Structures are given as structure tokens and as C-alpha cells.
Amino acid sequence: MAVAFDSARWEALAAARTRGDVGDGIASVLALLGRTDVISFAGGFPAPETFPREHVAALVQEFAAAGELSAFQYAPTRGLAGTLDAFTGRLERLQGRRPAEDELLITSGSIEALELVGKSFLDPGDVVVVEGPTYLGAIQSFRSFEAELVAVGFDEHGLDVEELERRLAGGVRPKLLYTIPDHQNPAGVSLAADRRAALVELARGYGFLVVEDVAYRELGFGGESLPSLWSLGPDVVVQAGTTSKTLFPGVRLGWAAGPAEAVDRLVAAKQLTDQCAGALGQRLFEESERRGWIDDQLERSRALYRGKCDRMLAALERSMPNSARWTKPGGGFFSWLTLPGIDAFELAERAIEHGVAAVPGTLFFPDGRGADSLRLSFSLVVEEQIDEGIARLGAIL
Ligand SMILES: Cc1ncc(COP(=O)(O)O)c(C=O)c1O
């Protein structure tokens, strides 16, 4: 007698935490990226012209010629000593705070840092507060731990901290609050300075941990930035950072910086996932940082993304109906387009038929909101195609 491995069998075998919509949202976005006939404002990938191909080739050659075997070997779970030192120096230089040895961990991309936070702190049913809208990967990551997600409002100055305060006073008791304070994904706005200080005070007052995602922090078009939450509240904030947008994402590399009590737990959790971030990526980052190449690359990247963003905003101005509103990002990859009375899912489907892709807003909320909004990403689209893409979207409307 054999059991049929049909879809019902797979459903029965799968863990409860994998059911629901976990994975589907990102998969549908990635599927659009493969289509060459579409002008895509969908994927939030970095522009390939920013990739430091020659530097990477030279460094790998250097490691091989010098017999530097640590670049090819397993690394300690926290990271290679030299790379930790390079990250420590960079954090001190850019954020004005130097993490102690036990306050820093090198991760395999920042999505792994979120995964480790979930593994270490979330039991089924625990409450995680997010900003609505927020990063789809984070929604899916926290959901995979069967957390209950509560979305707090958001405006052009970022998370509505006063609303958060009211919700806390009203009895919401999060273990974690996840926020992207700089050039947020998907809305492209940043958290105002006074709200940053107030948020840290709320975390102290109510005893929850803030998870600060700084994926776009170093991509401010003007190069300037507000104090990071971690620098304001190193006792209550875990910062998840990534080199995906500043170096390149092909080596999965990022960091988690936070209170030693939290980082120790993340280190323990990492021993049960991949044990260590790839040593080759760590060495590439370290050498690029020490030689000043990352800052040079960032300067070029900022100029490139600023140009694409300006072009997209100008095209929106020309092509959108009067009722439409969109955010004016000061950095990062995204603008958030709101079209009152329009069903964005339907619009996204029709746009694909006309050779344009954008992501419907509901994917970025844990509670079904965002039905009249689209995320427009300008990072990857070819600059010369931006006008045409936005004009096509406008024509459908
Ligand atoms: C806000 C945010 N956090 C994290 C990530 C993931 O970064 P990484 O490549 O380091 O996993 C992304 C990637 O799109 C992102 O937009």
C-alpha cells in the first residue's frame, strides 16, 4: 500500500507555521523580475551598475595569491575578528556609537538578523508591532514564528509614535516593535528626529525591544542622516543592517548590533542555522571598507538613485491624475503612490498587460489595508524607460 503524495498529503506534512501566505507575496514579486518585456517598478533590487566587479575580482585574486586561507574557511559564529573590527569602526564613524565586542554579530544578510530575532524572542501568539506599510520580508519572517502582527499608522514623518503610545496605553503589549526609520521600504519616508527619541522612551517604559532595520540608511540622497535608534537606545534596540545595498547582495552579509543580552541569544540561534556568515564575503567587505571603496561606491550609488528618483517624480507629476498622491523620498529605492478609489491589485494586473509592473500596497500590510496604493521602486528600472513606464501607468488610469 502506498500513500499518494498529492497536495493534501503535502499540506498534512507541512508545519503549521508554513501555512497561510508565507512566501507567496515575495515569490510573485520575484516572478515579475524575470520578464524582460516589462518596465518594472516592482523589485527592490540594487542597480547592477553599482556592483564593484573589478574590486571583487582583484581582492579574490589577492586572497588566493597570498595564501590567505581564512577567506575560504569557516568563520567564528560572531564573525571574523578583522571584519568585526571593520564593522565596529564603520558604526562608530557613521552612527557615533562603538558597539562593545559582545554587542555585535555578523549575519548572512539582514533578513537573517530578523530571522534570528524571531527565533530568539517570539513564541506563537506574541505581539509584534510594525508600521503599516512595512517590509514584506519582515511580515513573512515574523509570521513564520506565528506572531500576531499589529500595524500602527504611518505618515510622511514615519511611524505615528503618538498612535503607538495610545495603543500601548490601551493595552497592546508587544514583545517587539519593528521599524525602518530611514527611507523606508515601501513608502520611502523617514522617521522624524523627535519621534525617534519618543519611541526609545516608550520601549523603555513598556519593556519591549525595538528592531531597527537600517537597510537604506546610508542611501540618503544628500548623504546626511538622523541619529539611529540604536545610538539613542543601545539598551533597548537591536539594529539589523545589511551590505546588500551598499556593496552588493551576492554575498549575503549584514550585522546585528544591540544589547549583549540580546546579541548573545542571536549568536546561539545562529549556531543552529548556518553557524557563520560566509568568510569570503566578510573579507571582501573588510578590505573594501579599509580601502575606502565602500564610501566611493556609495557616493556613486546615491547620485545614480537620486537621478532615477527625480526622473520618476517628474514623470508622476506629468502623468498622474489630480487625485493621486505620492511620497517624495530623500533616499532609498521607493515611492508610495496612493490612488483614492482605485483597486491597486486590479491596476497592477492591467499594468502588466501594458508592459509595466508595480507591487500592490496590500502586500505591505499585515491586515489587508493598502488596497488603493502601489509601491514604485526606481532602483532597478533603466533610467531611459522611467518616463515611458509611468506614462503607461497614467494612461491606464
Ligand atoms: C527593509 C529591508 N530590510 C531587509 C532587506 C533584506 O536585506 P538582505 O539582503 O540583507 O537580507 C531588504 C531587502 O529588500 C529590505 O528592503
Amino acid at 340: P
Based on the number of CB atoms within 10 Å of its own CB, is 329 exposed (0-12), middle (13-18) or buried (19 or more)? buried
Closest CA to 327 of 174, 132, 190, 126: 190
Mean pLDDT computed over 322-343: 97
Q: Is the CB of 297 under 6 A from ligand 1?
A: no
Amino acid at 22: V
Closest CA to 167 of 177, 157, 181: 177
What distance in angstroms lies between residue 6's CA and the mean position of ligand 1's atoms? Answer: 34
What distance in angstroms lies between residue 130's CA and the mean position of ligand 1's atoms? Answer: 15
Q: Is the CB of 379 under 6 A from ligand 1?
A: no
Report the DSSP beta bridge partners of residue 148: 127
Q: For residue range 151-187, what is the model confidence (pLDDT) as tens digits?
A: 999 999 999 999 999 999 999 999 999 999 999 999 9
Reported pTM? 0.96
Report the DSSP beta bridge partners of residue 331: 220
Q: Is the CB of 242 under 6 A from ligand 1?
A: yes
Report the DSSP beta bridge partners of residue 394: none
Q: For residue range 77-136, what is the model confidence (pLDDT) as tens digits?
A: 999 999 999 999 999 999 999 999 999 999 999 999 999 999 999 999 999 999 999 999
Closest CA to 377 of 365, 359, 391, 351: 359
Closest CA to 108 of 217, 237, 242: 242
- Determine the straight-line distance between the first and last CA of the chain, rounded to whole angstroms: 58
Residue 220 dihedral angles phi and psi, to the nearest 5°: -65, 135
Closest CA to 278 of 286, 289, 266: 286
Q: For residue range 19-28, what is the model confidence (pLDDT) as tens digits?
A: 655 455 556 6
